[in-house]
Structure 1
Amino acid sequence: MSKDIAIRGVAKTFPHKDGRFTALDDVSLDIGASEFVAIVGPSGCGKSTLLNIVAGLEQPTSGEARVGGDVVTGPGPDRGVIFQQFALFPWLTVRKNVEFGLRTAGVPKAQRRARAEHFIELVGLSRFADALPKTLSGGMKQRCAIARAYAVDPQILLMDEPFGALDSLTRVRLQEQLLQTWSQDQRTVMFITHDVDEAVFLANRVVVMAANPGRIVEIVDVDLPYPRTEDVRLGAQFAALRNRVWSAVHHQEGTPA
């Protein structure tokens, strides 16, 4: 069962040569259970910092993040995190990479093998289960990272620019595959991206952030039907939503485009 995310009055400051740098200032946001929310904004607006706070990898200077009603104090198995860097163990096969979290959790061998095989098949890597990461393309590596995150059965997926380093065609294919997988299990997803088209194509809602300091300036409901097909991506409603989000990102007062 998915969990909700509640962010309340979160601020985060870091030491800076001129004193303190405010990465986030009074950020509040609710993400419902099973909702897919994308966060966009210029570099330096605190998108990744906010995700890291929800992941438990950073602590807020003030305010709090809650997952399923519980205050986040550190990482937990209820949250799977996927970064732009694939973070695979190069000496382990695809199967062993996907099994890794299950093995550290003490899941019996036969059970973790079955779960790994299921999610490897789900992301279309069954033919490469015994391959090492160095033999895989960038898109295949990221699919392996997604399968590994899914295998430990998190209620929430936290994704920080997961497709940012991929070519355009691979990126589109993985967007479509991610939505197919999400439609099956309805996990809660918090997705960070610089790509407005990607945000609109994937999400139920798009959160637009501004920098200096990092804050939410607009939340756009994406009233597009699922499944999101190429026809949806090429339609007039998609274009209108994309233009609205694009305008919000690039015309923030005091924020350079």
Structure 2
Amino acid sequence: MSTKISFRDVHKSFPVKGGMFTALQGVSLDIADEEFVTVVGPSGCGKSTLLGMAAGLVEPTAGDVLVDGSPVTGPGPERGVIFQQYALFPWLTVRRNVEFGLKLTSLSAAECRHRAERAIDLVGLADFADALPKTLSGGMKQRCAIARAYAVDPQVLLMDEPFGALDALTRVQLQEQLLRTWSQERRTVMFITHDVDEAVFLARRVVVMAARPGRIHTIVDVGLPYPRTEEIRLSPEFGRIRNDVWHAVYHQDALTA
């Protein structure tokens, strides 16, 4: 399988009072086409900075970030970005919010409507297409944000803790919804999370990062079949992998991590 996203010896430093802060140091990682990768680690390990580089929102101090072998020089329509905050326009309906990103394309109005309706249906919001965001639950708002990203037909989805502000039940439901959508669309996904269970449930590989400076601590292969079900979440194998990731995140040796 070909490489979709590549980080090559990436470094990122920020000026702070009295010197420089190293957010990332020597990060190298390849993410395959159509692969679902989660990135987990302690606060301050540079997870969001790494995703921002793939999105073209953050420039590395050193090293290269490539998508399909070409350097990332800024944002692009082939990369959809979804943040924890929904960033919906409150005066627009679900359908109009999803159509908004398509206004910058050369598509006809009919094709924009078709793409928007397909994306809305994918995330299970067809019955709420004419609703305003203020009438939606937090989980529904996030599904609307995901539909807006899908409508532009990106090859890559970059997701920065998209379910972090949701309650536990809604979070689980959206994890399952996201995997159902991914199984139909098969885009490349890089998903940032603080939640170890979420990281294991979603991914083919879990990238565990260490902090100060931010770097890759270990990568855990998740040898669980798709579709991921509640039975898989409760299985001994899931528990074993979860424990491996948990210990890698929270029991890192400060001298050798």
Q: Please give the TM-score of this superposition, normalised by the length of structure 2.
A: 0.97
Aligned partners of 2:24 and 2:133: how far apart in 1?
A: 36
Partner of 1:121: 121
Partner of 1:70: 70
Partner of 1:80: 80
* 1:218 alignment partner AA: T
Shift of 1:106: 3.0
Q: Deviations over 1:15-48 (max 9, x none)?
A: 1112110000010000000000000000000000
Aligned partners of 2:77 and 2:238: how far apart in 1?
A: 35
Alpha-carbon contact 1:24-1:46 (below 8 Å) kept: yes
1:183 aligns with 2:183: yes
Partner of 1:207: 207
Shift of 1:4: 0.4
Runs (4+) off by over 4 Å: none
Alpha-carbon contact 1:9-1:62 (below 8 Å) kept: yes
Alignment of 1:1-257 (within 5 A): 4-254=4-254
Q: Deviations over 1:52-110 (max 9, x none)?
A: 00000000000010001110000001100000000111111100010011112232111
Q: Deviations over 1:106-141 (max 9, x none)?
A: 321111001111111111111111111111110000
| TM-aligned CA distance change 1:168 to 1:198, over 3 Å | same
Give the 3-state SS of the residue equivalent to 1:191 in structure 2.
strand
Number of positions where the alignment pairs a residue of Structure 1 with one of Structure 2 = 254
Aligned partners of 1:25 and 1:43: how far apart in 2?
A: 16
Aligned partners of 1:253 and 1:3: how far apart in 2?
A: 31
- Residue identity over aligned pairs, in percent, reads 72
Aligned partners of 2:85 and 2:3: how far apart in 1?
A: 26
Q: Which moved more, 1:195-204 or 1:101-110?
A: 101-110
Alpha-carbon contact 1:3-1:34 (below 8 Å) kept: no
Alpha-carbon contact 1:32-1:188 (below 8 Å) kept: yes
* 2:78 alignment partner AA: D
Give the 3-state SS of the residue equivalent to 1:220 in structure 2.
strand
Alpha-carbon contact 2:3-2:30 (below 8 Å) kept: no
Alpha-carbon contact 2:3-2:31 (below 8 Å) kept: no
Shift of 1:231: 0.2
Gaps of at least 5 residues in structure 1 are none
Shift of 1:212: 0.3
Gaps of at least 5 residues in structure 2 are none
**Please, what is the CA RMSD of the aligned residues?**
1.1
Aligned partners of 1:110 and 1:247: how far apart in 2?
A: 51
Give the 3-state SS of the residue equivalent to 1:90 in structure 2.
coil
Aligned partners of 2:201 and 2:187: how far apart in 1?
A: 17
* 1:107 alignment partner AA: L
Shift of 1:254: 2.0
Aligned partners of 1:154 and 1:243: how far apart in 2?
A: 34
Shift of 1:235: 0.3
* 1:23 alignment partner AA: A
Shift of 1:239: 0.1
Give the 3-state SS of the residue equivalent to 2:51 in structure 1.
helix
Shift of 1:3: 6.7
Alpha-carbon contact 2:39-2:199 (below 8 Å) kept: yes
Alpha-carbon contact 1:12-1:60 (below 8 Å) kept: yes
Give the 3-state SS of the residue equivalent to 1:213 in structure 2.
coil
